[in-house]
Amino acid sequence: MKDYYYGFIGALVLSIIVVAISLSSGSASVEKTHFDNGEISFDYPSQWQQINVYESQLVAFEDPKSGIKLTVSRQVPPKDWTHGENFTSSLSKSADFGLKLLAQEKININGNDAYQNTYELKSNNTTTHSRVVWLEKNGAIYSIITTSPPGGWKDLLGTQSITKKEIDLVIESFAVYNLTLPSTAVWGEISIPSQNLTWKTRSDTVNAENSVYHYPTSVYPGFNGTIGFLGHHTMYSAPFARIDQLKNDDQLIINDYLTQKTYTYQVTSVGDIKWDYKTNPIQFPLGSPDLTLVTCWPPGSDQGAFMVHAHLKSIGPFKN
């Protein structure tokens, strides 16, 4: 009986040692492949499959086993753009818009300060989770965004999960080369689904094709306040030629390259016309997360400013 007891204890101790070694090995136990495009480099699990990227995204992968997706993005921000504290948004501190901040921490990646945030996202009765790492370098913001499929929370963050080790492998090995990047005025896009239209959003001019201008006196997506866009009615692709045909409850969607999120707004009023906007400029108040579209009125004239107002409905993962 005593021999059996000591044998059992010995086996238990050995099992604990094996588990401890396997846990402490971290990402070292993951079979890996190296990625390097001359701007960024990192290791990633060999079984991950590279998938298509969109606009500001540099590279993206999907794990065919777990459905986890990881995207690395880079965007040079406009000069008047600032990020929230630790790259968090006040709009994510509640679940009002489907995005809830669960955890945040400051980390170090290869000698660079970075910020890691974890979110819960709810949309269409499904819940997903996202782990986001932000790093500033070369005058740009880089993000490593991992998104779980519905129900994939434990695989994404569980302390003993092989999937977490695989994600840690990318983050711990992530490096950005010192480069001079070209500046860009384009930082996102706005879509009007009911009219099947999508335009770039920019911070420098309204007189550009296929785009609308962001008022510098208004906020950027993710902040408590009103976003303002100005678009021509008859010139330069006439992006806002038909905003007077919008109806209440129509959707307006901003795909934001800066925060790598999608913001969906619902139209609340159409046809607010400000005839004295030249002497009494349009205001974009802080507080409620709203969106205002502005164009000249009547068509072909700049006598007045025709406006459409909308309110934020939801925040979700960046759509491509």
Read off the pLDDT of residues 83-108 as tens digits, 9 standing for 90 and up: 988 898 888 877 789 999 999 999 99
Q: Going by DSSP bridges, is the β-strand pair 175-176/140-147 parallel, antiparallel, or unpaired? A: unpaired
Read off φ and ψ for residue 6, nearest 5 degrees: -65, -35
Pick from 55, 18, 25, 88: which is nearest to 257 by CA? 55
pLDDT of 53 higher than 70: yes
Read off the pLDDT of residues 189-209 as tens digits, 9 standing for 90 and up: 999 999 999 999 999 999 999
**Residue 231: how many CA atoms within 13 Å on its side-chain side?**
28
Residue type, 176: V
Read off φ and ψ for residue 223, nearest 5 degrees: -115, 155
Question: What is the spatial distance between Cα 79 and Cα 54, in angstroms, rounded to a whole number?
Answer: 23
Looking at residue 1, the DSSP 8-state letter turns out to be -
What is the distance between the terminal CA atoms of the chain, rounded to a whole angstrom? Answer: 65
Overall size of the chain counted in residues? 320
CA 80 to each of CA 217, 218, 284: distance values in angstroms, whole numbers, following the listed order: 10, 10, 16
Question: What is the spatial distance between Cα 264 and Cα 256, in angstroms, rounded to a whole number?
Answer: 11
Both structure tokens of 130: 């996202």
Q: Is the dihedral of CA 261, 267, 272, 273 positive or negative?
A: positive
In the chain, the domains with their CATH numbers are: 26-176 (3.40.1000.10), 186-317 (2.40.260.10)
**With contact defined as beta carbons under 8 Å apart, do 106 and 135 qualify?**
no
Question: What is the spatial distance between Cα 161 and Cα 118, in angstroms, rounded to a whole number?
Answer: 16
pLDDT of 15 higher than 90: no
Looking at residue 293, the DSSP 8-state letter turns out to be E
pTM for this entry? 0.88
pLDDT at position 157, please? 54
Read off the pLDDT of residues 226-273 as tens digits, 9 standing for 90 and up: 999 999 999 999 999 999 999 999 999 999 999 999 999 999 999 999
